[in-house]
Structures are given as structure tokens and as C-alpha cells.
Amino acid sequence: MGKNYVDIEDDQGGVLRYRKHANGRGLVAHGAKVAATARVEAGAYIEPHARVLDGARIASGAWIEPGAIIGQGAVIDAGAHIGPEAAVGAQAKIGVRSYVGRGAQIAGGSLIRDDEKIPDGERVATDRRGFRLAA
């Protein structure tokens, strides 16, 4: 039986310890909170102080930065990047290779299509087809 954690050195020479999430084997940093019912696939990273709520799915290659919140039942697709302090609402879907900037907020049920970039601090609400709704 192998160890259930990985130590990774950051750019400043510090070492972060990541544990493998029981549901999917993705890496969850010490200090992050991930629900047991969330799926974090191998190759995904959840950074310190991030929160991933019940039923959320984080695909391989996705990166959830510190302080980000992923809502209940949300889907973060392969290679997507959720910036620090960003919030993704319940049942929202973030497409393949999309980027959600620092402090951005994605409303529950929204669809961010593949390869989209949401700027820092922006608030986005879409319908289920990905068309933006009026604010």
C-alpha cells in the first residue's frame, strides 16, 4: 500500500503537502476542505483554503487556487483553472481549459463554455446554454 500524500516544493522553496482525495485520487492541499461526496480526479489540484462542496466534480488537470469556493454539484472540467478567491455557484459548469479570474463569481446553474476567460472580479450569470443573462 502506497502513501496517501505527496509533498511538492513551491516557487519560494516551501513545501506543500497534498493528500489524495478518497473519491478520485486528486490532490488536496493541507488546509483545503473538500466534501467526501465530491469527486476530485487524479491530476487535479486543490490548493490551501479552497472549499469544494458536496457532489462537485473536479476533472483531471483542473486547478483550484487558494480561497476559491466550488458550489454543490458544480463541474470543473479538464484543464480548467479557478483563480484565487473565485466562487463557482451550485450546479454551474466550467468548460475545458476555461479560466475564472481572481475573485470572479459564477452564478449557480451557469455554463462557462470551453476555452473561455472570465476576467478578475467579474460576475457572470448565464442560462443553461451559456448565453449571458442581463445583470
The pLDDT of residue 108 is 96
Higher pLDDT pick, 43 / 3 = 43
The pLDDT of residue 83 is 98
Query: 75-89: buried (b, 16+ CB within 10 Å) or exposed (e) per residue?
Result: bbbbbbbbbbbbbbb
- The pLDDT mean for the chain works out to 94
| Three cell numbers, residue 103 | 475573485
70-74, 103-107, 124-128: least confidently modelled range: 124-128
DSSP 2: -
Residue entry with cell 472580479: 121
Q: Which long-range contacts (CB under 8 A, 24 or more apart) does 83-88 make?
A: 83/120
CA torsion through residues 119, 11, 17, 3, sign: positive
Q: Tens of pLDDT along 23-69?
A: 999 999 999 999 999 999 999 999 999 999 999 999 999 999 999 99
2-6, 43-47, 53-57, 107-111: least confidently modelled range: 2-6
The pLDDT of residue 11 is 81
- Residues 114, 133: Cα–Cα separation, whole Å: 18
pLDDT band per the 50, 70, 90 thresholds, residue 9: confident
